[in-house]
Structure formats: C-alpha cells, structure tokens
C-alpha cells in the first residue's frame, strides 16, 4: 500500500508536466485582432446601429434639401458634401465617446481586461476602431454626396461640378478623424457616456462663446472649432501656432490623460 500511494502522486505530477510541455505556448492577442473586436462591439449594439443610421438619415435629408434648393450656377460637389457632412461632424464623435465608455457603463471592463490585461493596448485599439468606423461612415456619406451631385446634373438644368474634390475630401476626412479622436479622448477621461457627451459638446462651445469676450484675439489659442475649421479648409490663415496649441489642448492632452486614467481606473 505504501508503494502505491507514493507512486501515484509522482505519476500524476509527471503526467501533468508532460501535458504542459506538449501544449503550444499561449499567444497574446494581436493589435489588429483587438481593433477588429472593438469594431464589432461598436456596430453590434443597438445604440451604435441607431447612431450610424441617424447619421446616414441626416445626410440623406440634407442632400435632399440641397437638391431642391440649388443656387444659381453649377451644382457643385462642395455644396452637397458640406450639407451631407453636417450630421457627420455633429454625431460621429459620439461613436468615439461610446467606444471608450462602453466597458464602464455596461460593466464589461472586468471581462475585457481579464482577457486583455494590457489596458493601454485595448484603449488604443478603441481609438483606432472609432477612427476606422468614422472613415467608413464618412465614405458612405461622400458616395451619397457624389451621387447627388451627378443626379442634380442629370435631372436639372444645373451642370454638375466636381472642382476641388481632392482637397475637400482630404480636409473632410482629417477633420472627422480629429473630431472622433477628441470625442474618444473625452470618453477615456470621463467613463460615463452621458457626462462625457455633454462635456464634449459644452466645454469647447462655451470657450468659443466666452473666450473672445474675455481674451479677445488671444482666445484663438484655445479655439478648437476655429482650428478644425482651418484644417478643413486646408488653409491655416497664418495661424499655425494657434492651431497646433488648440489641437494639443483639446485633443492630444485629453487623449494622454484618458489613457493614463483608464490604465489606473478601478475595475468593478
């Protein structure tokens, strides 16, 4: 009996050792995999789908209005693209906010950060997925604007014009990406969706209204709307330092603070 009881634990331990060595080494999730997962999270929720649908419906409504109120002259793509992108600029940043706050408001942070303990990589994947999704939505809106321009040129007496399309697209995509990153940064700093959305809309707007009255021309240094407008126009109007400072304060700084806060926030 003594021999049997002594040998059995040794045999079990040896078996476990052999099984452990025969298993392939565990591999961490690639960054691309994390981005794909975060993209799926953004579009698989009811709120995400409703938001994207609302953006596209607003774009269609704006394009319809633009087509029925064409100014004299050619039907320029700039008019259609400007009308269609209004809803995009307004609502797309909410996608960034929701991407960053979803783990905390839906109480999935424990599961997410258990499977992917390196929080900064997960948060960066959320930033990238929000930008990728915004680019996809913006591309659909651009396609609608181009189709509306061609349709206006075909069914009305206005000639379709695509002058300056390349510059418009470059400025539009860059501005959308910066807006979404700014929204995601606010969501990373403030883990409550409603509060983060309010802060995103109210704080820059309050500065753009009160800043000029209090600081005159010096308010341009923190006017992020003016900075994004100049970027969209591809003309900084000789205000390069002011533009860089505004982008740094409202986009870069909240992004860094958000990543730092998310990496140290208590998971419940």
Whether 220 shows a pLDDT value over 60: the answer reads yes
What residue spans define the domains of the chain? 29-264
pLDDT greater than 90 at residue 95: no
Residue 90 sits at the vertex; the CA angle it makes with 53 and 134, to the nearest 5 degrees, is 60
Q: What pLDDT score was predicted for residue 53?
A: 92
Q: pLDDT digit string (tens) for 13-44?
A: 555 555 445 545 556 678 898 899 889 888 88
Q: Which residue is it, tokens 């995009």? A: 88
Give helix 253-264 / helix 119-155 axis angle, nearest 10°. Answer: 140
Q: Residue 204 corresponds to which tokens in the numbers above? A: 């820059």
| Nearest in space to 262 (alpha carbons), one of 134, 94, 127, 130 | 127
Q: Nearest Cα to 137, choosing from 61, 73, 42?
A: 42
Assess contact for 85 and 220: CB atoms under 8 A: no
Look at residue 104 in the predicted model and tell me its pLDDT: 77
Residue 121 pLDDT > 80: yes
Residue 57 has pLDDT above 90, yes or no: yes
Q: Above pLDDT 90, what percent of the chain?
A: 39
- Residue 114 pLDDT > 80, yes or no? no
pTM value surpassing 0.75? yes
pLDDT-derived band of residue 12, with 50, 70 and 90 as boundaries? low
127: tokens are 């930033």
Report the SS3 class of residue 44. Answer: coil
Q: Give the total residue count for the chain.
A: 268
Q: Are strands 75-76 and 160-161 parallel, antiparallel or unpaired?
A: parallel
pLDDT for the residue numbered 11: 55
Q: Chain centroid to CA 70: how far?
A: 32
Closest CA to 156 of 74, 253, 260: 74
Q: Per mean pLDDT, which range of 21-25, 46-50, 153-157, 216-220 is the poorest? A: 21-25
CA-angle at 140, arms to 136 and 144, nearest 5°? 165
The confidence band for 1, taking pLDDT boundaries of 50, 70 and 90, is very low
Helix (H) / strand (E) element for 95: namely helix 77-105
């Amino acid at each position: 009996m003594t021999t049997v009881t002594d040998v059995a634990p040794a045999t079990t331990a040896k078996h476990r050792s052999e099984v452990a060595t025969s298993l392939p080494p565990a591999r961490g999730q690639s960054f691309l995999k994390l981005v794909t997962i975060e993209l799926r999270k953004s579009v698989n929720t009811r709120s995400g789908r409703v938001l994207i649908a609302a953006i596209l419906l607003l774009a269609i409504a704006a394009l319809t209005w633009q087509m029925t109120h064409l100014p004299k002259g050619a039907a320029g793509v700039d008019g259609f693209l400007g009308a269609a992108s209004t809803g995009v600029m307004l609502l797309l940043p909410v996608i960034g906010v929701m991407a960053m706050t979803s783990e905390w408001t839906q109480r999935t942070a424990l599961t997410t950060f258990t499977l992917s303990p390196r929080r900064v990589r997960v948060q960066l994947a959320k930033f990238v997925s929000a930008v990728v999704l915004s680019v996809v939505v913006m591309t659909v809106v651009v396609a609608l604007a181009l189709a509306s321009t061609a349709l206006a040129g075909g069914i009305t007496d206005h000639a379709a014009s695509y002058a300056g399309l390349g510059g418009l697209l470059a400025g539009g995509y860059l501005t959308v990406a910066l807006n979404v990153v700014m929204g995601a940064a606010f969501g990373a700093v403030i883990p409550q969706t409603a509060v983060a959305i309010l802060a995103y809309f109210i704080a820059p707007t309050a500065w753009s209204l009160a800043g000029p009255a209090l600081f005159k021309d010096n308010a341009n240094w923190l006017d992020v709307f003016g900075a994004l407008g100049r970027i969209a126009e591809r003309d900084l109007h000789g205000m390069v330092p002011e533009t860089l400072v505004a982008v740094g304060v409202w986009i870069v700084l909240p992004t860094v603070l958000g990543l730092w806060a998310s990496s140290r926030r208590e998971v419940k």
